[in-house]
Chains A and B, each alone.
Chain A
Amino acid sequence: MDDEEDHQKLPDLVKELILRLISQNNNNTIDSPNPNSSHFQSSLRYAHRILSSRLTPSVSPDAAAIADSVKRRLATQGRSSDALSFADLYTKFASKTGPGSVNNKWAVVYLLKIISEDRKNTKNLDTSVLLPNLGLSDAQLGKGSGSRVSRGVEKGWNNGILLVAKDSENRREIAFREFVNLVKEENEVSEEVLVRDVIYACQGVDGSYVKFENDNVGYVLSDFVKVPRATRTMVHKLCELGWLFKKVTGFISRSMDRFSAEDVGTVGQAFCSALQDELTEYYKLLAVLEAQSSNPIPLVSESASSGNYLSLRRLSVWLAEPMVKMRLMADLVEKCRVLRGGAMAGAIHLHAQHGDPLVHEFMRRLLQRVCSPLFEMVKRWVLEGELEDIFAEFFIVGQPVKVESLWREGYRLHDAMLPSFISPSLAQRILRTGKSINFLRVCCEDRGWSDAAAEIATDIGATARRGGFRYGETDTLESLVDEAAKRIDKHLLDVIYKRYKFKEHCLAIKRYLLLGQGDFVQYLMDIVGPELSEPANTISSFKLSGLLETAIRASNAQYDDHDILDRLRVKMMPHESGDRGWDVFSLEYDARVPLDTVFTESVMTRYLRIFNFLWKLRRVEHALIGAWKTMKPNCITSNSFTRLQHAVKMQLVSTLRRCQVLWVEINHFISNLQYYIMFEVLEVSWSNFLSEIDVAKDLDDLLAAHEKYLHSIVEKSLLGELSQSLYKSLLVIFDLILRFRSNADRLYEGIHELQTRISESSVSSRNQSKSRKQLVDKSVDQGSWIADGRKALTQRAGEFLRSMGQDLDAIAKEYSSLEEEFISQLPVQQHVDLKFLFFRLDFNEFYRRVSPN
């Protein structure tokens, strides 16, 4: 077809169309359309104007899409069968191609669609328009008749009952319109805009009406905007979320800034990242909401103009759950602002005890993230002994110390960083396990623990894969720690027992420091005794070391391990002027790493105290034995005194007797004390100690057992705080005994000399004549005894014996008073074992009878 032809055809067709349409109007006059009538002419003009005004369609020429929308509309109207048949027809229509078919198919379908819609609208309009028209006509009628009162009745008469309803609906419509106007007047801002603003506010961005105000500290709807109070309240409520959000993001960004300053710590970082993940969820929701906010509500009838999908109310429902979470997060952020590490985890954990499953689940998720660095640290610590804690967040703190105090002071629990979900006892176990590893590594230079650790790791690895090693799995943590502790401790004890021979060293200390090796002590006492009687400052410790060596060689100690004997040394304590060697001499045992963890300096000091006491006791015993050697009755043959005067002889015998009695009494005391110390104290404590070593599970148990052992020795040997007065009086008794010994020695020396003189004088009297000259020379040489002659001899002897007797009397008196005092103190002591000592000393209640009070 030509363009020209088209141009010619177009007006013809339009004319035809108008003719058809107008002719339709007057159904009764179909066949008489008057093309020249004014009505037709005006219609034609009108049509041309319309056609020329819209040259391009407003939709894209896509027939299928238009047909689809028609079909959907039919379906939503409930005419599904029509929709199906329409679709069917359309596919057929679209398949018609070639000459004779419709070229502009989309236009035809679109045209049909529009006409159909128009027609429906006009129909609706018709019904709504028609009725007011009637009303209008009623009004006209009313005006015409002049009686408004009877209008309804007339209507009822005229148009049936329908008319009554008409009027009321009219009123309702007016009311609706008024309401709409009112709402429009009140709401300067439409709800959509408010929803958008609220969504912005929830992301911490100022909207056009809802803005963040610093003095109000929160998002508020500007006061200048006119909205109903209810809306304002709702906006305010919803905007709380924005405030909380700002707080949380503020915390995160502040923490992020400080990451470089190494102030936040790994737990803080984990917390931030967990919060960010939660916020990502929140962002997703907001994105969805924002997309929804511009969508209209899909309604069944299309004519009803619906508002946007997202109203403020819907928004408040949507945001209810995020609000709870956000509140929680803001709360946590507030709580954790100044906290770090374990303390932070603990604070968050306190919030996890919540009945609400939502909150509970949320907190669990959060805590799993937050605690993961902590648990990683625990794992490293327990399995490898590494304290990987650059930010000081872990509940175990290490400090650089000397090797020997590594176990006791090297590591400790940091209570503030201990999260409450790890019980103190568990924390203690964790601490000890890692400490054991470090101890093995540093002090024992042992690598065997790594095998044990690897074993645990594989064992636990299996369970960890099953259950996971994280927050909420405290059982797994406990089993890991227990398992690790069990193996590491076992290994540690093995090393200490087998490689470092702990028991052997303990035994050596008992033998040498606690004087358990009798022959050695006896021999040592014998050979160092003369040396120690010298003033302390003249004694050379080298010489004493040599003597110690000799003593070892001479006694059974020589068969002991060389390693042990090497560690035994002489130690001279700091001395003051006037001190004798006895006061400063002591033995020392060098424990060396790692056993110095057990035998620390303070422990060795206590051993030293015990040694000093025992050494004194031994010395006294030794002295008594020495005295006995001279006092043995068969050494003094009484027949040599027969020639003495009777009085002197009696004096001699009674002095000797007194001396013997005193010795026996002292000996009773000392030997019982000695027995008590050796058997009731040392051996009993030792056997307890041994049994405790056998059941000890870790180094702490071992230390405790040793401590108990030492403590019981100290307490029972009268060295404790409570028995200080007892100890002092004991020392006084020891001094007295030593004085007794020197007195007894002097006495017997005197007696021996006397004896010699007497025998000599008897010999000389027999040979008087022969050797007078010789005797005179001799007497001049030998002193005064013989020179004074026999009488003088007797007199001297009497004097000597008297003074010795007086001395002995004094000593005996002092001794008995001291012993009485000592024994009277025994029953009030707290130790049960001291009571045994009392029974032993006073077995026949002799002393009790002497002092009845």
Chain B
Amino acid sequence: MDPEAARTARESLDLAFHMSNILDTGLDRHTLSVLIALCDLGVNPEALAAVVKELRREKNSLSSSVPAAPSSLS
């Protein structure tokens, strides 16, 4: 990969990350880069979004169950 292309890629990622921040998606840079790569492979963005959403929900249910435990204890 020539340096020109690498620079373009990084700038693109930067811009996408900025947009992501403005839209308050909560994605970090690395995850975003993975998602972009997947998009470039032609994966349906709706499906990707669904995956992100589902996995986050799972995470939430996990995290909510964790603090719930001490409250029930008290």
Complex-state Cα separation, A104 to B52, whole angstroms: 19
0/1 per residue, A45-70, Cβ < 8 Å to B?
A: 01100110111111000000000001
User: Separation in Å of the A655 CB from the closest CB of chain B?
Assistant: 154
A107-B39, A137-B71 given; name 10 further pairs at CB < 8 Å: A13-B37, A50-B47, A86-B19, A101-B9, A102-B40, A107-B43, A108-B39, A109-B19, A116-B20, A118-B53
Question: Which A residues, 500 to 535, have Cβ-Cβ distances below 8 Å to chain B?
Answer: none
Pairwise interchain contact B19-A115, C-beta atoms closer than 8 A: no
Q: Which of B1, B8, B31, B71 contacts A98 (CB 8 A)?
A: B8
If A114-B46, A140-B72 touch, whether A119 touches B25 (CB-CB below 8 Å) is yes
- Tell me the B1-36 residues at the A interface (CB within 8 Å): 1-2, 4-9, 11-12, 15-16, 18-20, 22-28, 30-31, 34-36
CB distance from B22 to the nearest CB of A (A): 5
Instruction: Give Cα A122 to B26, complex, Å.
Output: 12
List 5 A-B residue pairs with CB atoms under 8 Å apart, sorted by A's residue number: A92-B15, A108-B36, A111-B49, A112-B16, A113-B23
Assembly CA distance A103 to B38 (angstroms): 11
CB–CB A102/B4 < 8 A:
no
Chain A residues whose CB sits within 8 angstroms of the CB of B11 once the complex forms: 96
In the complex, which residues of chain B have a beta carbon less than 8 angstroms from the beta carbon of A21? 31, 51-52, 55-56, 59
For the complex formed, measure the closest distance between the CB of A113 and the CB atoms of chain B, giving whole angstroms: 7
Q: Are B41 and A18 in contact (CB under 8 A)?
A: no
State A114–B23 Cα separation when bound (angstroms).
10
- Decide if B51 touches A89 in the complex (CB within 8 Å): no
Q: Are A122 and B53 in contact (CB under 8 A)?
A: yes
Cross-chain contact A96 with B8 (CB below 8 angstroms): yes
Q: Please tell me if the beta carbons of B5 and A98 are within 8 angstroms of each other in the complex.
A: yes
A839 within 8 A of B: no
Contact status A47-B23, CB under 8 Å: no
- By size class, the interface of chain B is 35 or more
A27 CB to nearest chain B CB (Å) = 9
A74 to B72, CA, bound (A): 40
Out of B2, B47, B59, B60, name the residue touching A51 (CB < 8 Å). B47
Number of residue pairs A-B, CB distance < 8 angstroms: 179
Q: Please indicate the chain A residues that have their CB under 8 angstroms from the CB of B42 in the complex.
A: 6, 104
Let me know if A9 and B41 touch, CB within 8 A.
yes
Q: Which residues of B contact A43 (CB under 8 A)?
A: 55, 58
Provide the bound-state CA to CA distance between A112 and B27, in Å.
Answer: 9
Contact with B along A63-89 (1 / 0, CB 8 A): 000000010001000000010011001
Chain A residue contacts of B53, Cβ below 8 A: 115, 118-119, 122
| Interchain CB contact under 8 A, B22 and A85 | yes
Known contacts A10-B41, A47-B55, A92-B15; decide if A101 and B8 are in contact (CB<8 Å). Answer: yes
Residues of A within 8 Å of B57, CB to CB, are: 122
Chain A residues with CB under 8 A of B7? 100
- On chain B, the residues within 8 Å of A104 by CB distance are 39-40, 42
Tell me whether A16 is interfacial, beta carbon within 8 Å: yes
Cβ A99 vs Cβ B52 within 8 A: no
Which residue of A17, A116, A130, A137 contacts B51 across the interface (Cβ within 8 Å)?
A17
- Residues of A near B71 (CB, < 8 A) are 137
Cα A31 to Cα B31 with chains together (Å): 15
Which residues of A lie under 8 Å from residue B40 when comparing CB positions? 102-104
Assess whether A25 is in contact with B63, with CB atoms less than 8 Å apart: yes
A99/B2 in contact, CB under 8 A: yes
**Pairwise interchain contact B31-A100, C-beta atoms closer than 8 A:** no
A24 engages B28 (CB within 8 Å): yes
Contact partner, B72, options A14, A17, A53, A137, Cβ 8 Å: A137
Write the nearest CB–CB distance from B28 to chain A, whole angstroms: 7
Cβ B46 vs Cβ A54 within 8 A: yes
The answer to whether A20 has its CB under 8 Å from any CB of chain B is yes
A90 within 8 A of B: yes
Residues of B within 8 A of A86 (CB): 19, 22-23
Closest 6 CB pairs of A and B: A100-B5, A25-B59, A114-B49, A100-B8, A116-B23, A111-B45
Q: Is the CB of B52 within 8 A of A115?
A: yes
* CB of A133 within 8 Å of the partner chain: yes
Select from chain A the residue with minimum beta-carbon distance to B68. Answer: A137
* Contact of A54 with B18 in the complex, beta carbons under 8 Å: no
Question: A283 interface residue, CB < 8 Å from B?
Answer: no
Contact of A50 with B51 in the complex, beta carbons under 8 Å: yes
Contacting pair B4 A53 (CB below 8 A): no
User: Which residues does chain A contribute within 8 Å of B64, judged by CB atoms?
Assistant: 130, 133
Cβ contact of A118, chosen from B2, B34, B49, B58, cutoff 8 A: B49
Q: Are B31 and A17 in contact (CB under 8 A)?
A: yes
Query: Min CB distance, A104 to chain B, in Å?
Result: 5
User: Is the C-beta of A735 less than 8 angstroms from some C-beta in chain B?
Assistant: no
Chain A residues within an 8 Å CB radius of B34? 13, 16-17, 20
Instruction: Tell whether A257 is near chain B: CB-to-CB under 8 Å.
Output: no
A54 touches B44 (CB 8 A): yes
Closest to A141 in B: B72
Residues of B within 8 A of A56 (CB): 44
CB-based contact A24/B59 at 8 Å: yes
**A1-42 interface bits toward B, Cβ cutoff 8 Å, 1 = contact, 0 = none:** 000001001100110111011101110000000000000000
Whether a CB of chain B sits under 8 angstroms from the CB of A752 is no
Kindly state whether residue A120 has any CB partner on chain B within 8 Å.
yes
Cβ of A126 under 8 Å from chain B: yes
Cβ-defined contact, A111 with B35, below 8 A = yes
A20 touching B38 in the complex, CB below 8 Å, given contacts A96-B11, A111-B49: no
Chain B residue at minimal CB-CB distance from A67: B19
CB-CB < 8 A to B25: which residues of A? Answer: 112, 115-116, 119
